[in-house]
């Protein structure tokens, strides 16, 4: 949305603002707020306070936290406050520099075992669901089989309990690089560009505004 190359620059205040707008527009969907970088890693107290702000100020019903085993205590602490937590393991965007870029995780045996343990830890900590991102589909299938909570896949194959795509990718709002796992269901960027071009042309030609779109 902002033209950033990663999610790292996104602030807590920005996410609270975005979450508020989503809450105002939804009719029946569960709103899960994505906790941004530095909003939950510094301390348990900060993590709990910031998670609470998403419910109190933004109107979310749950929060999402990236990380597995090393975030077990954080997830537990927030759940104990009565706040539902969704986990997120595999290719976690806030750790993009540690991964050396947006690369599929879990191809090697050790990585597979670590991601499985991350998912199990998130469930043990009390999460109600977990996002599996950028991992081989057979690993996602194994994790889904091993967990009792729902798995939501993004670039994780067909065997997850649910699926998610970034709406801007799905609707074709950008012409930048599209990951392999993204399917474009529309070309709204093209539609929008054509509409603006038509508007500019009609203004230059004196066709807009016409009688129909003028007051008398």
pTM beyond 0.85: yes
Q: What is the mean pLDDT of the chain?
A: 97
Q: What is the pLDDT of residues 147-183, one digit of tens each?
A: 999 999 999 999 999 999 999 999 999 887 788 999 9
Tokens describing residue 134? 């950028």
What are the chain's domains?
A: 12-164 (3.20.20.60)
**The pLDDT of residue 178:** 82
Report the alpha-carbon distance of residue 107 to residue 105 in Å, rounded: 6
**The pLDDT of residue 9:** 95
User: Using 50, 70 and 90 to split pLDDT, how confident is the model at 65?
Assistant: very high
Q: What is the pLDDT of residues 99-126, one digit of tens each?
A: 999 999 999 999 999 999 999 999 999 9
Give the catalytic positions in this structure. 133
Contacts of 31 (CB under 8 A, 6+ apart): 19, 22, 23, 59, 60, 61, 62
SS3 34: strand
SS3 180: coil
Residue 106: cis peptide before it, omega within 30 degrees of 0 = no
Q: Is the pLDDT of residue 203 over 90?
A: yes
């Amino acid at each position: 949305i902002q033209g950033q190359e990663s999610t790292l620059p996104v602030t807590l205040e920005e996410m609270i603002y975005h979450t508020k707008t989503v809450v105002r527009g939804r009719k029946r969907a569960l709103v899960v707020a994505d906790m941004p970088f530095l909003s939950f890693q510094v301390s348990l107290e900060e993590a709990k306070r910031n998670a609470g702000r998403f419910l109190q100020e933004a109107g979310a019903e749950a929060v999402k936290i990236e990380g597995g085993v090393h975030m077990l205590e954080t997830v537990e602490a927030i759940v104990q406050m009565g706040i539902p937590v969704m986990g997120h393991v595999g290719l976690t965007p806030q750790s993009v520099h540690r991964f050396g870029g947006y690369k599929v995780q879990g191809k090697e045996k050790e990585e597979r075992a670590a991601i499985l343990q991350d998912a199990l830890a998130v469930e043990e900590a009390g999460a109600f669901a977990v996002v599996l991102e950028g991992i081989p589909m057979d690993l996602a299938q194994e994790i889904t089989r091993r967990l009792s909570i729902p798995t939501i896949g993004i670039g994780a194959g067909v065997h997850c309990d649910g699926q998610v795509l970034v709406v801007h990718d799905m609707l074709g709002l950008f012409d930048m690089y599209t990951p392999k796992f993204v399917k474009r269901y529309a070309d709204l960027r093209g539609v929008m560009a054509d509409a603006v071009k038509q508007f500019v042309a009609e203004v230059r030609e004196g066709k807009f505004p016409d009688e129909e779109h003028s007051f008398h």
